Amino acid sequence: MSTVLRFVTHRIISHPAGEVTVSAQCLDADCGWTAGPVADVARVDVDCMSHTGRTGHPTFARKYEDVALVSPVGP
- What is the contact surface with Zn ion in residues (CB under 5 A)? 26, 28, 31, 33, 55, 57
Least distance in Å: CB of 47 to Zn ion? Answer: 11
Least distance in Å: CB of 40 to Zn ion? Answer: 20
Q: Can you say how many angstroms the Cα of residue 75 is from the centroid of all Cα atoms in its chain?
A: 32
User: Which CB atom, from 22 or from 47, has the smaller least distance to Zn ion?
Assistant: 47
Which of 44, 53, 51, 48 has the alpha carbon at shortest distance from 23?
A: 44
User: Which CB atom, from 49 or from 67, has the smaller least distance to Zn ion?
Assistant: 49
User: Which CB atom, from 46 or from 67, has the smaller least distance to Zn ion?
Assistant: 46
Which of 58, 12, 14, 57 has the alpha carbon at shortest distance from 39?
A: 14
Separation between Cα atoms, residue 39 and residue 24, nearest integer Å:
12
